[in-house]
Amino acid sequence: MRSIKGLVVAVEAIVLLALGAANILSGQWLGGAIVVGLAILAAACAWVLWPSDHESSPAGG
């Protein structure tokens, strides 16, 4: 379950980055900049949500 969140947001980052690049290439600078900004935020989010080996069990909470 943990890995799904990180994976989904990582996919979101990649797709947004591609969309942002497409916008920039088609001359939509504002739209491109906004979407690339969101892609960077999504990449940071995916990095934080990505499970690492040293984490404890998912049961806590």
Tell me if 25 contacts other proteins by CB under 8 A. Answer: no
Tell me if 30 contacts other proteins by CB under 8 A. Answer: yes
Tell me if 53 contacts other proteins by CB under 8 A. Answer: no
Tell me if 49 contacts other proteins by CB under 8 A. Answer: yes
Residue type, 57: S
DSSP 55: -
Tell me if 38 contacts other proteins by CB under 8 A. Answer: yes
Distance (Å, whole) CA 44 – CA 23: 21
Angle among Cα 37, 21, 6 to the nearest 5 degrees reads 55
Distance (Å, whole) CA 28 – CA 45: 25
Residues within the interface to other proteins (CB under 8 A): 1-2, 4-5, 8-9, 11-12, 15-16, 19, 23, 28, 30-32, 34-35, 37-38, 41-42, 44-45, 48-49, 55-61
